[in-house]
Amino acid sequence: MPPLGLGVDLGGTNARAAVVDTDTGEIVAAHKEPLRDRSPPRVVEVVSHALREAASAAGVDLAGVRSVGVGVAGQCLGATGVVLNAPNLAWRDVPFGEMLRTAIGVPVRLANDLSVAAWGEKRFGAAKGIDDVVLVFVGSGVGSGLILGGRLHDGAQGVAGEFGHVKVRPSRPDTRPRRCGCGMTGCLEAYTSGMNVAARVREEVAAGAPTSIATLAGGDLSRVSASLVDDAYRGGDPYARALWEEVGELLGTAIANLVTILNPARLILGGGVLLGCPALAAIVQARFDAAVSISATTGLSVERAWLGDDAGVIGAAVLD
């Protein structure tokens, strides 16, 4: 039997547990459950159940496992297992690590979902064998995972990599300051995440902004997405063009600053906004090239994430 690890990916809508071959990163068995009730005790039950199902499918005795890794879409104090803030779960200061440990009788190691994904990519994916890796994710949220000197850098409190919450200043002086889900204004995420872009377009269309996006959405503003903005941009829509120039500059410059500071050997890009919007991606690339410190790009390679939605459970299963 190969060496096996157990990992959990805890998002806002589902919990997914997997048994992973820790030599190859292959998923041996997995079990996914929806989170209907997000109260911490109920989520502990759901995660415990998913772990038991996955373990049983793989023929593993959960009680005999050395530890379980969990990637959480939120800020985690890695050392204590406390989830400080997980907006998608509406959690604040939840001692989830300890609660889950009590429920399953096995030590639990918690980390942010993007830290875990970066670790998965480093072990088995787009950064295999590379010691200095920055993963940038722009999807419904914005964040990063940092592998520095061959190790997961999750910081003194476990909240490193909060790339979505660096403060930025848009180039157009008429852009209103936007409030972020974290409660602050000026966060990169507030201007560039898929959810926030869609919300902004809806607001601005409702206020009369001239754009083809509403038509592309079939008149149903709830269908507005970053992907539709990208379609509109490629169709020559001036509103989409101005919006993408702003979003692309903010993202390209912020990613460049991250590379200038950290000098990674590999930059991994993930998330539906970065990977699913080709027009935006081209602007991000151009703005990155214009802003990054040249010396930090010597030996830098850029890759798309390989592991996709599996990065979380795989990385969690091999958390040290």
Binding site for a second copy (CB under 8 A): 75, 77, 84-85, 131-132, 144, 146, 148-149, 151, 153-163, 165-167, 169, 171, 173, 182, 184, 186, 253, 256-258, 260-265, 291, 293, 295-296, 298-300
Question: In what helix (H) or strand (E) does residue 280 lie, and over which residues does it extend?
Answer: helix 278-291
- Min dist CB 141 to a second copy, Å, is 14
- Min dist CB 284 to a second copy, Å, is 14
Contact indicator for 88, 103 with CB cutoff of 8 Å: no
- Min dist CB 126 to a second copy, Å, is 15
Q: Which is nearer to a second copy, 24 or 171 (CB)?
A: 171
Question: In what helix (H) or strand (E) does residue 179 lie, and over which residues does it extend?
Answer: none
- Min dist CB 132 to a second copy, Å, is 4
Q: For residue 55, give Cα distances in angstroms to 5, 39, 187, 246, 275.
A: 10, 24, 40, 47, 33
- Min dist CB 182 to a second copy, Å, is 7
Q: Which is nearer to a second copy, 282 or 290 (CB)?
A: 290
Q: Which is nearer to a second copy, 48 or 75 (CB)?
A: 75
Q: Which is nearer to a second copy, 180 or 243 (CB)?
A: 180
Q: For residue 150, give Cα distances in angstroms to 69, 129, 130, 146, 320.
A: 18, 8, 7, 10, 12
Q: Which is nearer to a second copy, 228 or 255 (CB)?
A: 255
- Min dist CB 131 to a second copy, Å, is 7
Q: Which is nearer to a second copy, 64 or 173 (CB)?
A: 173
Distance between CA atoms of residues 211 and 280, nearest Å: 17
Q: Which is nearer to a second copy, 225 or 253 (CB)?
A: 253
- Residues with Cβ within 8 Å of 34's Cβ and at least 6 positions away in sequence, in order, are 13, 14
198, two tokens: 């869609």
- Min dist CB 87 to a second copy, Å, is 12
What sections of 28-129 are H helices per DSSP? 40-58, 96-104, 113-124
Tokens 């964040």 label which residue?
143
Distance between CA atoms of residues 133 and 268, nearest Å: 7
